[in-house]
Structure formats: structure tokens, C-alpha cells
Amino acid sequence: MPFSANHTRPGRAFEVLSFRATLILRGLVSAMNVSPTAGDPTYRAFIAYSHQDEGWAQWLQQALETYRVPARLVGAQTEFGTIPRRLAPIFRDRSELPSAADLSQKITEALRQSANLIVICSPHAAISHYVDEEISTFKRLGRAERIFCLIVAGEPQASILPGREAEECFSPALRFRFGADGLLTQERAAPIAADARPGKDGRNNAKLKLIAGMLGVGFDTLKHREHQRHMRRMIAVTAVSLIATLITTGLAIDALLARRSAVLARQAAERRQRQAENLVEFMLGDLNDKLGQVQRLDILEATDKEAMKYFESLPTTDVTDQTLALRAKALEQIGSIRTSQGKLPAALESYRAAAGLTHELAERAPANSARQVSYANSFNWIGNAYWYQGDLSRSLQNFQQAIELLQREATGQPDNADIAADLASARTNAGRVFEARGDFAQAKTLYELVQRSFQTLTTREPNAVRWQSELGYAYDNLGKVALEQGQLAQAVAAYRDDQRIKAKLVAQDPKNYDAQEDLLVADAILGRTLALCGASEAAIGYARDAISLSKQLVAFDVTHAYWREDLGYYSQLLGGMLRQSGQLDEAVRLDDEGVRVLTELARTDATNARWQRELAMAEVEAARAQIARRDYAAAERHLANAVAVVEAGLANTPSDVSLTLVNAEADIVAGQIAAEREDATTARGYWMQAREILTPVAQKADDPNVLAAWASALLLLDDVSAARPVVQRLAAMGYRTGDFTALLAAKGVPYAVSVDFVRRVSDEAPRPIP
């Protein structure tokens, strides 16, 4: 089995967002599985708001956190607890919602730790997916009575007034009640609201109404106390105010004249800004909503086209730098969704468009580190798309450009964790290209830098899940290089370190689907490597765990392309293990499942090189199983499919070592079919072809999979003298698969693995206790 069986993907910092379920969908599922906060809450309130209402949110947060509760009320007991002296802290942090892979958990946790939810209500908020999800999450926590509304624009319940639907300021989650099943019903709710609109409560009274609700006291009581405080303050400042008024009157007249023209210009700019930001919120909100809830490619395509039309029609002179940055972010989001759907050419188009914008912004402000980092990361996105297409040269070119730019920023800011993580991700991506080319020394150098980076970050922030997860990926990369260099014991140890981290993260957050997929991949890779070492029982156990998790994920979302890939790829992996252990019927069933799933995926995107390669590997393994059943016609059909895929892949990327190995293995299996049919001449022809393919690769490789295939071709050709030194190298490595040891026994070649190696692998082999 070729080294690409590690089944890894480019650096997770640039992994597609929906690659393992969208943030919105994850947040919703997590919210349905949390319970109300026990003990004192971390936050007095969580402010939910649309980006367009950020000014109101900033004002409200400051007003609440600086408000001093009247001394006579402090310590009093209400139905909601003891009245505090201050209302801080208030949670308000949605400006970066789509940018971090773990942010949905952050928002869910903040809601869980908030005593109250304050919703800033406007027509913008009423159509905001994020606002609606935050309200829904809070209600599912069982705290609907602790939701308070601040109306700043629009009209409550306007959605039921013909012709005024666009004025609605309440989100659906506010307008309707939730049932016991956590789903929205048609029963209308009556939200508790303060009204800051002109002619209504006004800002101050609205603020006091919210505070009264939060504290559980009457508005009149709080208003009376506030009035007394206000009067004392007014007496103290009246004299100063009179003097200040005389001085500033003259200045105010001049200022008003200048302000008029400035206001007009600002209003025009704000109008244009709102146009762009409305579109961005549509894409980052409704676009994800369509994907998460409907799972329809046609809807996704339609929204993408409309977004691109708008971007193309909007003159660059009509937008601010902030708007350009949002446009770039939205394009990257579209690209990542297209990647997760297996539409790589379209994804590449989006990434390139985003890179053009980040480049323009970076040139406008060379000293702005954030812009330089965004520009550098655009190369990671583009390189990622080329990687999936199998274009190693252009992929590496983009990753190296990202490394160069990020290294410059990291040197200037050595303590910036985010930049360090971005640089590590770029190095990981470049390392995987070197790995695919067979340059394992260069790949190992990069992976070791990555491992040190995340070890440092983990030491600095030991409770940060992100750094723990990335450290696990670093161990995985080092395990791959160790395997490819023939260091099987070291590979098992590194993979075991990764698996322990991933299992710990799933135990901490069982409903995190990203963490579950990470664990299933770690289980499968560790199981595969143990199988290479002859520890078949433990290997099968880990592989079964991987299949079990992958089935759960696919059952949750059958349209998720990469979860289906996990199921297909690891089905054939377990099938190969079971075939070699004599469990043929189950092996055939798993092989058929793997071929079916991977065929469906490969048909959706012929440019996805990894899917094509994995399909070829699955077809070869299915052919082996059919040979064991003596169904040679079925074996030939599988093999013909594998060869067609491999030839197409090698035409595009002839330097791909993994494809070269699959090509040779297909020839070995074809020779076995001919031999079973007693066609010795044809069999030798296939085996000689396999030997010729493998010799130049194996002579400069330590990968046990390559060496074992080469030795197998030599042994099948009865060239035992040429095979013996290769066999000895494999014995020193500890390589002991069922297929290889059976071939050695058939050829009468002695084979022994060191006792020390068996002991070292056995120390890592036992499966964890559930």
C-alpha cells in the first residue's frame, strides 16, 4: 500500500471551512447539546447584533459596563439573584465570526456563560442568520425569559403587515416560540423590548429599561434613582456648563458650517459601504445557511453567480479599504465552499479573485502587518487548490511565496501566535509537496519546524484546543516522513502521539464533528502502520473505529464530500487488512463499498487528483480480493478501472511517487491473474514491467511500501538474489504484512524481524480503553 495511504490534506489552517461541516451548522448542533450554566455566569449579558448596527452595540456595551448600580439597590435579592455593583463584563464579539475554525464553539460557550441576551433589533438584524442563530441557541438553553430587545430601527411585527414586511425588526427566533424538541413553532412570542427609536423611549430610558430587566427591579424604581443622581450631577456642573456655553457658542457656529459638507460626504460613503457589507453578510450568512440546511449545489451556484456579478460591477473607487477586505474574505469563503463540494476550478477562480484584492490592499499599506498576512495567506488558498488538482509545481510555488511573506512578518512579531500558526501551515503545505515528490529530507526539515512552533504555542497556552490539534497534525506529518524513510517504529510512535491528542479532544467535545473526523483519520493511519508491522489485531481494531466514526459523520450529512471520502478510502484500507487475515467475505463487502463511494466522488470532479488516486488504490485492492475468491473476470474489471485512472493521473503529474507505486502494484496484480490462469508468459511480462517501473524509484527510496512492491516483483520473477538485499532491508525495518510474508514463504526465503522491534511496536499497539 503506497505512502499516500496516510490520507492527509494541506495545512489545516487553510483547510476548507465547510470541509468538516460549516461553522453555522456546527454551532447549531453544539447549541442543541449544551445545558444552562451552573453557578455564577461569566458575562452579565451577550449582545447579539447585525454588523450594520455595530455603532449601537458599541454604545450599549459601554453604557452597560460603565453603569453604576445605585448603592441602595446593591446586594438586594431578586428572583434573578443578588444585584451586583456593576454590570460588567458584557460579551460583544462577532466582528470576526467567519474567520476562525473554532469560533462557533466560542460563541456557543459565551452564550452559555451569559446571564442575559440583549438583541439589538433592526431590519438588518431581522434578516441576519447569525443573530437568529444566537437567539435560537440561547432559547434552547432554556433562558427565553432572559432575552431583552433594544429596538433601534424598523417596526416590530411588521412582517404580518401587508407591504411593510421589509420593516420587520424582530428575527424569526424572537417572533416565535420554540417547542420542546428545540425547533421553531408557529406560536407567536411577545419579546420584552426597550425602544430607542426617535419619539419612543429614547436612548437613556431604553438603557434603563434593559438594566431594570437584567437586575429584576421595576423601571420606575431605577428611573427614580437615576433622576436623583442626575439632579445632583446637574447642580454640580451647571456653573461650569454656563461658562463653557459662552465660550463654545462662537466656535459652534463655524463648526456647523464645516460639518454640513462633511456630513453629506460621510453619508454618501456610508451608503456605499452598506451596499458592499449587505452583500458580504448575505454571502457569509445566507450562503452558509443554504449550504448547511438545504445542501443544494444549484442554490450554491446561483448565490455565487450573483455575488460575482456584483463584485465585477462595483467600481473600486466606490468602496473603502474595509469593504475590499470584506470582499476578499467573502471570495475566500466561496472558494472554500466550492472546494468542499469538489468544484476545484471554480474554487481556484474565487481564490485568485481574492488574492487580487489582498494584493491591492497590501500595496496600499506596506507597513500594515494584518494586510501583509492576508496577502500571504491568499497564496496558501491558491496553493491548496493546485494541490488538490495534482499540480505540484504551481502548488509548491504558491506555498513557498506564502512562507517567504509570512516569515518576514513573523520575524517582526515573534510573539504573534496567529502569524506563527499561519507560517507553520504554509510550511506544512510545502512539506507535503516535497513529500509527494519523494524529497523526504526537505519535507522532514519543514515538519520539524512546524512541530517546534506548535509545541511552543501549546506550552504557552496549554488549554488552547487549536494548538493541541495542530500539534497532533505535526506528529502525523513526522510519522509520515518516518514511514517513508523506513523507520516504522518511529512512525508508529508519532502516529500514536497524534491519535492520543485527537482522542483527548473528542473526549472533551464529543459533538465536535471536526474533532471526530480528525480522530477517525488518526485511528486509520495508526491502524494502517501497525498492519505494516504485523500487529494485525490492533490494526484492525483501529481501522474499525475509523469506519464506525466515518459512518456516523456520513449519516449526519450524506452530502459532505470529504466525510464520504473518509468512508470510501478507509473501507478499502480495512478491506485489505481483513483479506490478509482471512476474513474474505467482509473484505469484499468493504472493498465494494470503498469503490462505490470513491467512484461517485471522482465523477463529481475529474480534476481532484487525490480522489482519482484513491479510487485507483481501491480498485487494485478489490481486484486482490476477487483473486482470493478466484473470480478472475471481476478482478480484471477492477484492474482495468484502476489502470485507466492511473494513466490519466500520470499524464498530468508524472513525478507523483504514489501514483507510480499504484501503477506498479496494478501490474503485479495483473501478473497474478495471468499466473492463476496458467499464462506464465503474460504474467512475467506484467511483473517485469512492474520491476522496471519500481527500480529507479526504489533505488533511492526507503519507503517500505515501495521496497516491498519492488521485492515482490523480483520474487515473482524468481530473481531471489536481487530480492534478498531488499528483503533484508525490510526485515531490519520490521515490515511484516500478510501478503509479503506469504510470498516469502512461497518462495522459501527466510525472514525474521528483530525482537526489539516487535517489543517497541507492541508498546504502542494496544488500543485505548473506551
Which pLDDT belongs to residue 760? 73
For residues 547 and 335, which has the higher predicted lDDT (pLDDT)?
Answer: 547
Is residue 548 one of the residues assigned to a domain? Answer: no
Quick check: helix, strand or coil at residue 654? coil
Query: Do 26 and 51 touch, CB atoms closer than 8 A?
Result: no
CATH code, domain with 59? 3.40.50.10140
Q: What would the pLDDT profile of 640-659 be if each residue is shown by its tens digit?
A: 999 999 988 888 778 788 88
Is residue 72 one of the residues assigned to a domain? Answer: yes
Please say which residue of 183, 202, 217 terminates a domain.
Answer: 217
Is residue 86 one of the residues assigned to a domain? Answer: yes
What are the beta bridge partners of residue 178? 184
Is residue 79 one of the residues assigned to a domain? Answer: yes
Which residues have a Cβ under 8 Å from the Cβ of 567 and sit 6 or more positions away?
547, 550, 551, 553, 554, 593, 594, 597
Which pLDDT belongs to residue 319? 61
pLDDT at 245 over 80: no
The residue type of 366 is P
The residue type of 7 is H
Which pLDDT belongs to residue 254? 52
> Band of the pLDDT at 267, cuts 50, 70, 90?
low
Is residue 712 one of the residues assigned to a domain? Answer: yes
**What average pLDDT is seen over the chain?**
81
Q: What would the pLDDT profile of 188-207 be if each residue is shown by its tens digit?
A: 888 889 999 888 888 888 99
Which pLDDT belongs to residue 684? 96
Pairing of strands 192-195, 147-151: parallel
Q: If you ran DSSP here, which 8-state letter would residue 160 be given?
A: G
Highest mean pLDDT among 38-47, 299-308, 556-565: 556-565
State the total domains in the chain.
2
pLDDT at 283 over 90: no
One-letter-per-residue 3-state SS of 485-505: CCCHHHHHHHHHHHHHHHHHH
Which pLDDT belongs to residue 293? 36
Q: What would the pLDDT profile of 697-737 be if each residue is shown by its tens digit?
A: 888 888 999 999 999 999 999 999 999 999 999 999 999 99
The three cell numbers locating residue 139: 432559547
* Structural domain boundaries, residue 711: 678-770
Is residue 446 one of the residues assigned to a domain? Answer: no
Per cent of the chain over pLDDT 70 is: 79
Which pLDDT belongs to residue 88? 83
Is residue 729 one of the residues assigned to a domain? Answer: yes
Residues 93 and 110: their CA atoms lie apart, in Å, by 10
Query: Do 653 and 676 touch, CB atoms closer than 8 A?
Result: no
Please say which residue of 156, 188, 217 terminates a domain.
Answer: 217
Is residue 133 one of the residues assigned to a domain? Answer: yes
pLDDT at 636 over 70: yes
Least confidently predicted of 74-83, 271-280, 543-552, 682-691: 271-280
Mean pLDDT computed over 298-327: 60
Which residues have a Cβ under 8 Å from the Cβ of 565 and sit 6 or more positions away?
597, 598, 601, 611, 614
Q: What would the pLDDT profile of 454-473 be if each residue is shown by its tens digit?
A: 999 999 998 888 899 999 99
For residues 210 and 316, which has the higher predicted lDDT (pLDDT)?
Answer: 210
What are the beta bridge partners of residue 45? 90
pLDDT at 171 over 90: yes
Query: Do 87 and 45 touch, CB atoms closer than 8 A?
Result: yes
Mean pLDDT computed over 590-599: 95
Mean pLDDT computed over 268-279: 53
Mean pLDDT computed over 625-636: 95
Could you give the angle at the alpha carbon of 98 between the alpha carbons of 93 and 100, nearest 5°? 85
Which pLDDT belongs to residue 32? 36
Query: Do 337 and 291 touch, CB atoms closer than 8 A?
Result: yes
Cβ burial 572-596 (10 Å sphere, 16+ → b, else e):
bbbbbbbbbbeeeeebbebbbbbbe
Which pLDDT belongs to residue 238? 41
Please say which residue of 174, 200, 217 terminates a domain.
Answer: 217
> Band of the pLDDT at 275, cuts 50, 70, 90?
low
Residues 606 and 378: their CA atoms lie apart, in Å, by 24
